[in-house]
Structure 1
């Protein structure tokens, strides 16, 4: 990005700090990217967050496992009975990862319950859930 191929990593961090860029490594257990058709699941991925001028950018490094969209949600709800609307709502929110709830709550400035409800209404779409509060 900055062309610092042979640059000392410590010097690079100093320069980035001077430019107002903060880089943080995140100890992630799993990263899931959901597309319309599939899910890309990164286990043991290296995740880095870069904060620059009020914008957070995430970099994920690793080899993803590809699986059909909804495969994990179906297995989670097979053991439950969804005969009523309240049971269906509970099953939808049970499949939402706590990390997604935390992201929406933090970015939108709302409670975890409100974030979880927005994620459930938006079928787990982080951007759409955050946009509901903006």
Structure 2
């Protein structure tokens, strides 16, 4: 798990528990990191460790990534509607978010869209505002 510089792994685990750090191995088959430029890093059969240090979760991925172009990337530089969130011309509020707020609160689409705009797209805050 960690290279403790020759330290006994049991002793290291005990010290981490004393410091309030919980460590958990995650049985992952694949990890995909989508980058802003549209490319992806794909880790097949990685070793993944989750560390929780007083509420702050950190994930460590060990493995060799394969770089590949995202399936949603378009060569001309255009972005397809699914990747853009298909906001329907509503100033950046995705229709899926509006539908979710409507389903959870029973509010009209206009009220849901307005609540999302007021909360800068924060779903939980928009739902709370309408409930």
What range is the shorter-chain TM-score in? 0.5 to 0.7
- Structure 1 CA distance for aligned equivalents of residues 32 and 124 of structure 2: 23
Give the structure 1 partner of residue 53 of structure 2.
52
Query: SS of the residue aligned with 1:17?
Result: helix
Q: What value does the CA root-mean-square deviation take over the aligned residues?
A: 3.1
After TM superposition, the score normalised by the length of structure 1 is 0.52
Return 5+ residue gaps in structure 1 as ranges.
Answer: 75-87, 93-112, 115-130
Structure 1 stretches of 4+ moved >2 Å: 131-134
- Deviation of residue 53 (structure 1)? 1.2
After TM superposition, the score normalised by the length of structure 2 is 0.53
- Structure 2 CA distance for aligned equivalents of residues 50 and 56 of structure 1: 6
- Deviation track 1:92-129 (CA, whole Å, cap 9, x = no partner) reads 8xxxxxxxxxxxxxxxxxxxx98xxxxxxxxxxxxxxx
Matching residue within 103, 124, 127 for 1:133: 124
Give the count of matched residue pairs: 82
Please say which structure displays the higher CA radius of gyration.
2
Any residues of structure 2 matched to 1:10-29 within 5 Å, and which? 10-29=10-29
Give the structure 2 partner of residue 67 of structure 1.
68
- Deviation of residue 4 (structure 1)? 2.9
- Deviation of residue 132 (structure 1)? 4.4
Query: SS of the residue aligned with 2:124?
Result: coil
Query: SS of the residue aligned with 1:14?
Result: helix
Give the structure 1 partner of residue 36 of structure 2.
36
